A = this chain, B = another copy of it.
Amino acid sequence: MILPPDICLFSSFKNFPFRGLSYTKLLLLMDNNTQNYCYPLLQPYLPIHQKVVVPAGESHKTIDTCMYIWQKMMAYGLDRLSLLINLGGGVLCDMGGFCASSYLRGIAYIHMPTTLIAQVDASIGGKTGINFGGYKNQIGAFYTAQKVWIAPIFLKTLPHNILYSGFFEMIKHALIADEKYFNQLIHTPLQEACLSIAYITRSIQIKHVIVCKDFRESHERKMLNFGHTVGHALESYFLAKKKKITHGEAIAVGMICEAYIAYRKEILTYEVLHVVVKNIYIYIFHIKISLEEIDVLIQYMQQDKKRKKKVIYFPLIRGIGKGVIHRAVNQTLIASSLMYYRNIVS
């Protein structure tokens, strides 16, 4: 399977082609997790570099952390021809990409994603951003990485819940674009699917093809937000309440709700809804939503960036492998979909 030249998979850290790079200074951004678990593996192969370490986790994906990173970039004297490497998961890649996009009006950066979710999704397509005002990715830029260097062996450093979080983005890729891939995914043991080079590559391809058609997310790219309208609201709300949820778990709940919405809008059959739900809910039935929380989640969705005027537009699916965009959904139906999820997992 073929990938574009700027996105490369490597079977070993020693294969990273640092010698082919040209830059004045090299700064490695990591969080305290990747500093502990990934940096020691990578360090022997790195050229001379400076380091900046930030706290791990979604709650640190803030403008304050960016200010800390920008200050370090200045302190180390990074200029327009310097290079930032983001060694981390989706949170770190998104935030590092935004810092690179905005430092001196943009310097080059390389993503070295260390989680499955970052390898198959977050690191591909030039979306960067941070959370702001209580909402996810409110501030950011479309700014493409010079290179994305993916080493699946990093995945072996991950706790299971973090590894599996990426599985749901793979399921999403399959649901919007590739029925055969969906069937492969659901018939492979979870751990094996998450570590499969073939599946990682397929997910990157699907995302890359969509991004190439619509970089700034005016049309087709919105499909990649399947599961994310409900998912982001859930994630933001859990973040505010300091309740634990992975991004993957949140969009898994979102995909169930949004598949239900597609069914209720009569673009998805009940049979296909059932296939989608039964293959997802087994992983997330521990995530409960109270009746009171449903209204709060809808308020969160109102603020989500996919909102246009007061109508909420969703990307949905009209079959397995068949994403569609821009379907208007009213609040009653969103509430019904959350009720449907409640019933499934109760």
Task: List residues of chain A with CB under 8 Å of any chain B CB.
Answer: 24, 63, 67, 70-71, 74, 77, 79-81, 98, 101-106, 127-129, 132-133, 135, 137-142, 216-217, 303, 305, 307-309
Contacts and interface: CB of A to CB of B under 8 A. Distances in A.
A322 to B, nearest CB: 25
Given A63-B67, A79-B308, A308-B79, A74 B141 contact: no
Given A24-B308, A74-B135, 14 more contacts: A67-B132, A70-B133, A70-B138, A70-B139, A77-B303, A79-B308, A80-B305, A102-B102, A103-B138, A105-B127, A105-B128, A105-B137, A105-B141, A141-B141
B104 A305 contact: yes
Contacts of A105: 127-129, 137, 140-142, 217, 305
Nearest to A80: B305
Contact of A79 (B98, B104, B141, B305): B305
Contacts of A77: 303
A74 B303 CA distance: 8
B80 A141 contact: no
A129 B142 CA distance: 16
B308 A80 contact: yes
A103 B139 contact: yes
B132 A308 contact: no
Contacts of A138: 70, 74, 103-104
A251 to B, nearest CB: 19
Contacts of A79: 305, 307-309
A102 B71 contact: no
A137 B70 CA distance: 12
Contacts of A63: 63, 67
Contacts of A104: 138, 140, 305
Contacts of A71: 133
A79 B309 CA distance: 8
A74 B132 CA distance: 10
Give me the 7 closest cross-chain CB pairs, A-B, nearest first: A104-B305, A105-B140, A74-B133, A102-B139, A105-B142, A79-B307, A79-B308
28 contacts: A24-B308, A24-B309, A67-B132, A70-B132, A70-B133, A71-B133, A74-B133, A74-B138, A74-B303, A77-B303, A79-B307, A80-B305, A80-B308, A81-B308, A101-B141, A102-B102, A102-B140, A103-B138, A104-B140, A105-B127, A105-B128, A105-B129, A105-B140, A105-B217, A105-B305, A106-B141, A106-B142, A141-B141
